[in-house]
Amino acid sequence: MNQVFPWREAPAAEFAVIGDPVSHSLSPRMHQAAYAALGLRYRYVAVHVPAGEVGPALDHLSALSYVGVNVTVPHKEDALKWCTQIDPLARRVQAANTLRLADKACINTDAPGFMETLESLRREAGSAVLSTINHQASTIKPTVLLLGAGGSARALAFALAQAGWRLRIYNRTRERAVEMLNGLEIEAELLSQPDPEGADLILNTTSASLQGASLGIPWENASRDAVAYDLMYAEGGTPFLREAAERGLRTCDGRPLLAAQGALAFEWWLGVPAPRQVMLEALD
């Protein structure tokens, strides 16, 4: 568990992760390990920012001379609104998770980081399904059941659509899912229930796991060859992943993605290669 600072009481530091909640985040441990490995004397802290206070909080951190900020749920859309220099992907998915405060610049590392982790899963598992990530070279069109329609969901839905995946999407509020698809200009099947039947990848982008809540997925309908992937992580596994494992599915939590995102942010901020293996090992 991190020491968490209310944003008005943020300490002297160069980097931070902001969220609500944020005490669970392993980002401070990961980035501090990276700095130590390279002999860099930087500090990275966890800062709690309640909903509706993202703009003032970022103004405050900027005034304190913070260099960069990572953004976790549920603030990725509000973080984008604060920025004035927005990279094309962040603009397209209307969500930013990595900010440079001095010039109010932002990028989104969710999509490229996520696709890196799928490639790693493919190599580890030798999965015929996951090997079709680059659909341009394949006649097979794998299917993903994507749960959620927030900032992370938008980035990943766009990346998967670009890579040739067939999308099925479930969100508690259907209208929000429709808005997401219209904004991204991609096609997907909208489901009235989170049914995993026929899905090769079952992807949870919601924050339900942070509250220890079950999504009520009928796991008996899932293929034993499917991969269950939760963007969240928790000691002992999230409810989503524990339920999937009981069904016999291969599972992946959000730590590999956190490491991939963190490395991309590190390199964007500092302009030097990130010690990726150190960062990943710091999350164990």
164: helix, strand or coil: coil
Consult the annotation and say whether 113 binds a ligand: no
Residue with tokens 């220099």: 85
Q: Which amino acid is at 93?
A: V
29 is in an annotated binding site: no
- The reply to whether 176 sits in an annotated binding site is yes
- Is 76 in the active site? yes
Q: Does 192 count as an annotated binding residue?
A: no
Other C-beta atoms closer than 10 Å to the C-beta of 284 total 6
38 labeled binding residue: no
CB atoms within 10 A of CB 242: 16
Q: Flag whether 207 is marked binding.
A: no
- 233 annotated ligand-binding residue: yes
Catalytic, out of 76, 81, 104, 141: 76
| C-alpha span between 158 and 178 (Å, rounded) | 14
Q: Please indicate if the annotation marks 2 as binding a ligand.
A: no
Query: Is 26 a known ligand-binding residue?
Result: yes
For residue 149, give every residue at least 6 positions away whose Cβ sits within 8 Å of its Cβ, in sequence order, or none. 169, 171, 173, 176, 177, 179, 180
Tell me whether residue 68 is annotated as binding: no
The answer, yes or no, to whether the previous bond of 6 is cis (omega within 30 of 0) is no
Residue 231, annotated as binding a ligand: yes
Distance CA 262, CA 259 (A): 5
| CB-based contact 75:19 (threshold 8 Å) | yes
**Residue at 30: amino acid letter:** M
Cα torsion angle, 156, 158, 163, 168, sign: positive
Given a contact cutoff of 8 angstroms between Cβ atoms, the answer to whether 143 and 200 are in contact is: yes
Residue type, 42: Y
132 labeled binding residue: no
152 is in an annotated binding site: yes
The verdict on whether residue 205 carries a ligand-binding annotation is: no
* 162 is an annotated ligand-binding site residue: no
- Whether residue 117 is annotated as binding a ligand: the answer is no
In angstroms and rounded to an integer, the radius of gyration of the C-alpha atoms of the chain is 18
- CA–CA separation, 184 vs 13, rounded Å? 36
Report d(CA 206, CA 216) in Å as an integer: 13
Q: Which residues does the annotation place in the binding site for shikimate?
A: 25-27, 72, 97, 110, 233, 261
Q: Which residues does the annotation place in the binding site for NADP(+)?
A: 148-152, 171-176, 231, 254
Q: Which residues does the annotation place in the binding site?
A: 25-27, 72, 97, 110, 148-152, 171-176, 231, 233, 254, 261
* Catalytic residue IDs: 76
